[in-house]
Structure 1
């Protein structure tokens, strides 16, 4: 009885051991994971994803995460090319691309990557002056990523990005930078104000120029129109005067003399051609009398005298302005 019970217990124990071994031989590997299998201490490769069968006791798996990881590097003291001490902290983004190499080639990737990142950062910062360190973060990130990737490539790790998070210069440098920034902003404000005034002056000058141009253009058009009107008036007068004969002109001349005679003034100015005018008028009256087209008084004057004696004309010297003067007392 006791031997049967002991046999049953041994059988159950063996079944439990077999079950544990079977369960340990079956592994489920996720999509972002790989199993690096060591068989009797020798790496035989990586397996997964999915269900992976292992030989119990003989195979020893090591799980590797293939997802991108980030590592925060604490503040590191660096000296720039112009001997300024600064504190820099940054982030490293990396992922495993070869699972076997990441397990076999490096024991502690986190510590190794932090050490190589620190030394690389100090080497890069040491070749750059402070102003370039502050202004060329993207360039420093690229250089760091390239140099880190060259080292970590043999570890089966790919450095995807390096981002500098903060650069802290000494306090006196910060104060000097603050003063410089304030002065630069003041300069920009003055330049902006001067540019605004210059643009305003240019705009006003352009407006004045356009106003002067428009005013001159208006005056020119007005003068052109005035000249055209005057020319048209002269042309009209010329056309009318061209049709006036000497007889009509003589009558108009006599009418003008009549108006002058009605003036209370005792001083008269007669043109030098007055004698010729009177002679022409006399001939006109005689011709009109012979044709019967003049009135009775004009015929009587023509018949009684026969000729019309011109008034006494006082002729000026030849060098005069072509006028004769006759003056009587008041």
Structure 2
């Protein structure tokens, strides 16, 4: 009888021990296993047995984490103060390093992302922040990825979300854009005048080779003007034509 009670007690203890030892890890989870305080192995996914009081396991999520970087005050290289925020996508690729090498890899990555965002953007001018975000995103991602590699973390992507300017700077940028558009308009107008003068020079050279070409051109101009509804036509009269008419009149007077 006493033997029966002892066997039942041992059986219950074994069942309790086995139940306390069972861990279930999902497909995206890994378990960093420690034995007597020392690193033992990385387990999972699936069924994992952990010896109570001797082994301890820390779960690590391997899915991509979306980290929202808080708004940072950045002073650009041309001394313009802006507020910038971003989002960082990273994941754990080495659970052992993520648990052993850093106390809290999520908080460490967040603080490093804030510092890197200020440091990288501070090396560029405001125009670069507004026009070359793709290149800046890549620069920040490369710096973060290199710094977090020792923690077993892979930074997949960095995206700058907003670059906020104060009202005075917005007005200054608007004035600059307006001045730039006016400059382009003047340059285009000047280039058009230059091209027109070159074409006129070529036309004058062609007309000068044939004396009758100028008269034909005058006739074409008069024909084009006559098609309009204007009642008064003013056109220049070439001096050669006047001299020809004068010579004809003189010949008639001499014949008389």
TM-score (norm. length: structure 1): 0.52
Match of 2:26 in 1: 30
**Aligned equivalents of 1:114 and 1:171: distance in 2?**
30
**Aligned equivalents of 2:137 and 2:12: distance in 1?**
56
Residue-by-residue CA offset, 1:266-316 (whole Å, 9 max, x unaligned): xxxxxxxxxxxxxxxxxxxxxxxxxxxxxxxxxxxxxxxxxxxxxxxxxxx
Contact 1:105 1:154 in 2 (8 A): yes
Note the aligned Cα RMSD (angstroms): 3.4
Shift in Å at residue 13 of structure 1? 7.2
- Superposition pairs for residues 227-238 of structure 1, below 5 Å? none
Residue-by-residue CA offset, 1:45-103 (whole Å, 9 max, x unaligned): 20112222222221111111111111001100011111111111001111111011100
Q: Which runs of 5+ in 1 are unaligned?
A: 202-330
**Aligned equivalents of 2:179 and 2:8: distance in 1?**
87
| Runs of 4+ with >2 A deviation | 10-21, 178-188
Structure 2 residue 204 is the aligned partner of structure 1 residue 169: no
Match of 1:178 in 2: 174
Contact 1:22 1:56 in 2 (8 A): no
Match of 2:35 in 1: 39
Match of 2:233 in 1: none
**Aligned equivalents of 1:20 and 1:172: distance in 2?**
71
State the secondary structure of the residue aligned to 1:111: helix
Q: Which has the higher contact order (CA 8 A, sep 6+)?
A: 2
State the secondary structure of the residue aligned to 1:76: strand
Structure 2 residue 91 is the aligned partner of structure 1 residue 92: no
Match of 1:144 in 2: 140
Residue-by-residue CA offset, 1:182-237 (whole Å, 9 max, x unaligned): 4556677x58x97xx99xx9xxxxxxxxxxxxxxxxxxxxxxxxxxxxxxxxxxxx
State the secondary structure of the residue aligned to 2:159: strand
Contact 1:77 1:87 in 2 (8 A): yes
- Superposition pairs for residues 91-130 of structure 1, below 5 Å? 91-130=87-126
Taking structure 1 as reference, are residues 73 and 12 closer, same or farther at Cα in structure 2, changes over 3 Å only?
farther
**Aligned equivalents of 1:131 and 1:103: distance in 2?**
41
Shift in Å at residue 24 of structure 1? 2.3
**Aligned equivalents of 1:76 and 1:103: distance in 2?**
28
State the secondary structure of the residue aligned to 1:117: helix
Taking structure 1 as reference, are residues 23 and 173 closer, same or farther at Cα in structure 2, changes over 3 Å only?
same
Taking structure 1 as reference, are residues 133 and 57 closer, same or farther at Cα in structure 2, changes over 3 Å only?
same
Shift in Å at residue 17 of structure 1? 4.7
**Aligned equivalents of 2:131 and 2:39: distance in 1?**
47
Match of 1:304 in 2: none
**Aligned equivalents of 1:118 and 1:12: distance in 2?**
60
**Aligned equivalents of 1:54 and 1:92: distance in 2?**
35
**Aligned equivalents of 1:91 and 1:13: distance in 2?**
56
Match of 2:77 in 1: 81
**Aligned equivalents of 1:172 and 1:180: distance in 2?**
12
- Superposition pairs for residues 227-306 of structure 1, below 5 Å? none
Q: Which runs of 5+ in 2 are unaligned?
A: 197-256
Shift in Å at residue 131 of structure 1? 1.2
**Aligned equivalents of 2:17 and 2:86: distance in 1?**
46
Contact 2:70 2:114 in 1 (8 A): no
Q: Give 1 or 2 for the bigger CA radius of gyration.
A: 1
